[in-house]
């Protein structure tokens, strides 16, 4: 009796819940359990292939982490970065930030084909990128987080979006912050996510200007440690050697930790876009100092900011598609 009264009460209460205009929004939510029913081993499969690739080449962790970023900043996290050129599609792989630089596509291919075998036409390439970014972080010693899932894959790419939305290493602090804000990310996300540069490499061409002519006066960037700069110049000459590789974090180059921030405090950040977090804005400088002092705080914020980045305008519901091959739209 009491039970049925409770039930009636609940029903009448529900009747007064204002009609929800959030139908679209509900359809739009990503959640970590998305594949629990349809492909329960999806996360395990992604993890094992990423682990194998990183064991073979530690840098692959960095490359996969960066791919998710370069995906999300262009049309949202929709795997547009993975499309090859064909028909009307001009691949984002040809853009300035990606050309001769973005890598890891073969690992994504391997994951996709394993998942197509396990549960055909189910797991999106965009979700693979988000999972691979998390797994890469964990495998190199960084924090873990539950990855919200349910993204679908784009039907197109945007080379102009790739050129314009992804910050360049010689952009000003304001330009970089604006590019983050346009994607719904703030200064805290900017400083925390830049901590990704605790792993991985950069080519000489991405920071040469700092070594020779930072402000057009023919001098090296004075915010760069002069001994470190001299060492960098030996393999990054005034001309030539564009593709020569340098570690982004010279202390612990393949470990995900807060040495990136400690290096910035020692004027030994590699990219101009790294060092200006300390030198051009008080709020970001304070965050750099906090993360340099407190690794746990960095890890906690990094995980939060990665989830936030992974939520940039995903395709959900019936929008987009689940690609069979991450390099091309379905026939």
For 292, the enclosing helix (H) or strand (E) is: helix 282-293
| Choice from 76, 142, 148, 167 touching ligand HEM (CB under 6 A) | 167
Segment 213 to 252, residues that bind ligand HEM, using CB under 6 A:
none
| Choice from 137, 154, 162, 196 touching ligand HEM (CB under 6 A) | 196
Site size with ligand HEM, rule: CB under 6 A = 25
Does residue 128 interact with ligand HEM by CB under 6 A? no
| Choice from 273, 281, 284, 311 touching ligand HEM (CB under 6 A) | 273
Which residues have C-beta within 8 Å of that of residue 60, sequence separation ≥ 6?
50, 53, 54, 103, 104, 107, 136
| Choice from 49, 53, 193, 326 touching ligand HEM (CB under 6 A) | 193
Q: Any known ligand binding at 80?
A: yes
Q: Which residue is nearest to ligand HEM (CB)?
A: 200
Taking a C-beta distance cutoff of 8 angstroms, is the pair 72, 310 a contact?
yes
Q: Which of 38, 113, 126 is nearest to 78 (CA)?
A: 126
Q: Any known ligand binding at 197?
A: yes
CB atoms within 10 A of CB 158: 19
> Is 21 in the active site?
no
Two tokens, residue 259? 């040495």
Distance in Å, CB of 12 to ligand HEM, minimum: 49
| Choice from 202, 214, 252, 263 touching ligand HEM (CB under 6 A) | 202
Q: Which residue has the tokens 């006066």?
A: 217
147 Ramachandran zone, left/alpha/beta (phi>0; psi -120 to 50)? beta
Interface region with ligand HEM, contact rule CB under 6 A, candidates 34-42, 123-131, 149-157, 163-171? 163-171
Distance in Å, CB of 172 to ligand HEM, minimum: 11
Alpha-carbon distance of 104 to 101, in angstroms, equals: 10
Q: What share of the chain is helix, strand, coil (3-state, %, to 5)?
A: 50, 5, 45
Alpha-carbon distance of 312 to 49, in angstroms, equals: 25
Segment 54 to 93, residues that bind ligand HEM, using CB under 6 A:
59, 62-63, 65-66, 69
Active site residues: 70
Instruction: Name the binding residues.
Output: 71, 74, 76, 78, 80, 92, 167, 197-198, 249, 252, 257
List residues binding ligand HEM (CB under 6 A).
59, 62-63, 65-66, 69, 101, 103, 167-169, 176, 190, 193-194, 196-197, 199-203, 206, 271, 273
């Amino acid at each position: 009796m009491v039970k049925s009264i409770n039930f009636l009460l609940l029903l009448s209460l529900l009747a007064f819940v204002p009609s929800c205009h959030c139908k679209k929004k509900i359809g739009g939510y990503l959640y970590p359990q998305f594949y629990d029913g349809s492909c329960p081993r999806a996360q395990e499969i992604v993890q094992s292939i990423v682990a194998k690739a990183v064991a073979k080449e530690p840098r692959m962790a960095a490359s996969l982490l960066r791919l998710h970023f370069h995906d999300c900043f262009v049309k949202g996290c929709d795997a547009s970065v993975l499309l090859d050129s064909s028909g009307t599609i001009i691949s984002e792989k040809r853009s300035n930030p990606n050309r001769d630089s973005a890598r890891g596509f073969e690992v994504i291919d391997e994951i996709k084909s394993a998942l197509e075998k396990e549960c055909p036409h189910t797991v999106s390439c965009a979700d693979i990128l988000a999972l691979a970014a998390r797994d890469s972080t964990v495998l190199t010693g960084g924090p873990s987080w539950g990855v919200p899932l349910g993204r679908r894959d784009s039907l197109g790419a945007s080379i102009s979006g790739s050129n314009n939305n992804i910050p360049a290493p010689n952009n000003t602090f304001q330009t970089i912050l604006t590019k983050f804000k346009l994607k719904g990310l703030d200064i805290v996300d900017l400083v925390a996510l830049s901590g990704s540069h605790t792993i991985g490499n950069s080519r000489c061409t991405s920071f040469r200007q700092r070594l020779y002519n930072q402000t057009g006066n023919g001098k090296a960037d004075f915010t760069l440690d002069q001994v470190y700069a001299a060492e960098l110049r030996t393999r990054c000459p005034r001309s030539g050697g564009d593709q020569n590789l340098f570690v982004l974090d010279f202390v612990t180059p393949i470990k995900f930790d807060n040495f990136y921030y400690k290096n910035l405090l020692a004027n030994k950040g590699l990219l101009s876009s790294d060092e200006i977090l300390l030198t051009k804005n008080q709020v970001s400088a304070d965050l750099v100092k906090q993360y340099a002092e407190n690794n746990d705080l960095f890890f906690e914020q990094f995980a939060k900011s990665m989830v936030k980045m992974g939520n940039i305008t995903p395709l959900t519901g019936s929008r987009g598609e689940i690609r069979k091959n991450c390099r091309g739209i379905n026939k």
